Structure 1
Amino acid sequence: MTDQAFVTLTTNDAYAKGALVLGSSLKQHRTTRRLAVLTTPQVSDSMRKVLETVFDEVIMVDVLDSGDSAHLTLMKRPELGVTLTKLHCWSLTQYSKCVFMDADTLVLANIDDLFEREELSAAPDPGWPDCFNSGVFVYQPSVETYNQLLHLASEQGSFDGGDQGLLNTFFSNWATTDIKKHLPFIYNLSSISIYSYLPAFKAFGANAKVVHFLGRVKPWNYTYDPKTKSVKSESHDPTMTHPEFLNLWWDIFTTNILPLLQQFGLVKDTCSYLNVLSDLVYTLAFSCGFCRKEDVSGAISHLSLREIPATAQPFVSSEERKERWEQGQADYMGADSFDNIKRKLDTYLQ
């Protein structure tokens, strides 16, 4: 159907990898809807060309240069930059109905049935079930709704600093009005929930249709070995309780996306290659002396998409860390790692 679409957003080349895997997974499960992606100027031209091979429509959104009320709202509330970009999905009035999906989601089965739902349909947030999680939601593009959202953003901002708080305020009756607008959790299965409620995952996880890689560590932050088709396990990482979703993400990436990146010059046929792409470092160590284009995924013996370490980590207050914990976004790989928590407890027990 040409008047309905799955929509996602990428604000840099890192999240573009996620968007590409998401788009590929939708096609893999034979969606009949169009695929659209919103991009910002931070996405490189080469990456935008790759996106055009997977998505039917690649739409540039530049809030800073829009000259409309979105620009004025950004000037008033600069902290809502990414949120205001995401709100542009309501301006896609060429479509009668859309399903928005964050770029860190992965489709496990055909989900075209979501288009039978009404606006605003979404799954409960694992951190506060009376709120919906804005990683997957059904909506109807509307200039009127878009302008109302911008007005709310300008006047009230967002209680969580992001799009989820703003959208829950706007669609404040979601929790109580119509149960049909509550998507089953299998349409937005939080990877963190697998760890926090393992018995439920064992009972219902096999029916999952969409997995959402919530939290700071994303699939592209892991190291993957195509020979074993598995990611490298990180100690005390809760998502590794059931790594099959991470492995599936990487399998799609190496099979479908990596050849496209190579085709457009983002990955080269070399035996050892370091190339800075936006805020990522690709490390490709090939197991053979040469490799053909069509064998690139099989020839890689070690593949890692690692973020360049910052020279200085931004300060995060205790209150902010507490909020992140409550939202299921603990920094398991850094400040909130098991070793750091144990070290802190030891200081009190001495």
Structure 2
Amino acid sequence: MTASLEAKAGIRRHAPAASRHAYVTLVTNDDYARGATALTHSLRHSGTQADIIVLHTPALGEASREALAALGCRLVEADLLPLSDAFNARHARRALHGAAPFTKGRKPDFHTPLDNFVKLRLWQLVEYESCIFVDADAIVLKNIDRLFAYPEFSAAPNVYESLRDFQRLNSGVFVARPALATFAAMQERLDVADAFWPRTDQTFLQTFFPQWHGLPVTFNMLQYVWFTMPDLWDWKSIQVLHFQYEKPWETNHPKSEVLMPLIALWQAFHDGGPIPDIAALPGPSGPAAALSPSAGA
């Protein structure tokens, strides 16, 4: 595809693909670049040889772009999707949080719900046979390359409060097969009259792929499981640790005390220093993870 056609398509590639498979993450600002740094280090630590794609919006600063490129990431600039004014108004942060509030945790100030829909541009990366998407607020603890052979659309359930949530997917980790036909079909379904996706891309993807293939929760272990469902936590089996809601790099983190063991692990990956023996880490029953009565509000 020529540069002019790529510009019209809403994405701009800055380097050729080096593999048939890729890990893809979305970075929409400099705050999420910090998460992508830790994620990239964790993927390198896992031993993967797949490409690592940073799908980023124009809002990402030049210094962050250079830093991620220096880590060996392949940067792909992606425009926001061409959506109607009415759609954008319904999914603006204040409107969405008012209509479908987050009551279990706090989204950071740098989180912009509309940016999440850029994730759908992954299906434009047709130079890849298969992709594993991983949110920038996650770290990979084991090699998960085998997921490249899994079918589209494979994802883990959104479990962090009760087993009733097994019927809901979490779009922080999923397997996709890029195809322009799929992307076109998504565009046709996304911005229809009065469409409202309360959890943005996540709600849309579950609707678009109603027969999604369930992965074990260990492929997308949400951090709140640490204190809401501690019996599910087993360091030896966790493949991906996902910091939903509060981010481990926030300075005003309201749950930092209860989640400190997880934050410390994220920091080790972010800094590129020695990584502890993860299987030997203490579980949530240890004194460092004791839950105060208000921590899960």
Instruction: State the TM-score, normalized to the length of structure 1.
Output: 0.62
Whether 2:55 is the aligned partner of 1:38: answer: yes
Quote the offset at 1:242 in angstroms. 5.2
1:172 pairs with 194, 210, 229, which one?
210
Higher RCO structure (Cα 8 Å, ≥6 apart): 2
Letter aligned with residue 25 of structure 2: T
Alignment of 1:235-314 (within 5 A): 237=255, 240-241=257-258, 243-255=260-272
2:247 pairs with 205, 210, 218, which one?
218
Q: Is the 8 A contact 2:41 2:269 kept in 1?
A: yes
1:193 pairs with 225, 229, 240, which one?
225
Quote the offset at 1:173 in angstroms. 2.0
Q: Which has the larger radius of gyration?
A: 1
Quote the offset at 1:76 in angstroms. 4.5
Q: Is the 8 A contact 2:190 2:204 kept in 1?
A: yes
Letter aligned with residue 119 of structure 2: K
DSSP-derived class of the 1:38 partner: strand
Whether 2:159 is the aligned partner of 1:149: answer: no
Matched residue pairs, number?
232
DSSP-derived class of the 1:173 partner: coil
Quote the offset at 1:159 in angstroms. 3.2
Q: Is the 8 A contact 1:84 1:150 kept in 2?
A: no
Moved over 4 A (4+): none
Unmatched tracts of structure 1, length 5 or more? 64-69, 175-180, 224-233, 257-336, 342-350
DSSP-derived class of the 2:68 partner: helix
Q: Give the structure 2 partner of residue 227 of structure 1.
A: none
Unmatched tracts of structure 2, length 5 or more? 1-17, 92-112, 274-292
Quote the offset at 1:124 in angstroms. 0.7
Quote the offset at 1:195 in angstroms. 1.0
Higher helix share: 1
Deviations 1:94-131 (A, max 9, x none): 10100001000111111111112110000011163212
Whether 2:161 is the aligned partner of 1:129: answer: no
In structure 2, distance between residues paired with 1:82 and 1:55 = 24
Instruction: State the TM-score, normalized to the length of structure 2.
Output: 0.72
The 1:183/1:158 distance shift into structure 2, 3 A limit, reads farther
The 1:84/1:75 distance shift into structure 2, 3 A limit, reads farther
Q: Give the structure 2 partner of residue 9 of structure 1.
A: 26
Deviations 1:315-349 (A, max 9, x none): xxxxxxxxxxxxxxxxxxxxxx949x8xxxxxxxx
Q: Give the structure 1 partner of residue 67 of structure 2.
A: 50
Q: Is the 8 A contact 2:28 2:56 kept in 1?
A: yes
Q: Is the 8 A contact 1:99 1:138 kept in 2?
A: yes
Deviations 1:70-108 (A, max 9, x none): 31x244411263133111111111101000010001111
In structure 1, distance between residues paired with 2:269 and 2:235 = 20
RMSD of the alignment, in Å?
2.2
Q: Is the 8 A contact 2:39 2:270 kept in 1?
A: no
2:126 pairs with 93, 96, 111, which one?
93
In structure 1, distance between residues paired with 2:172 and 2:73 = 21
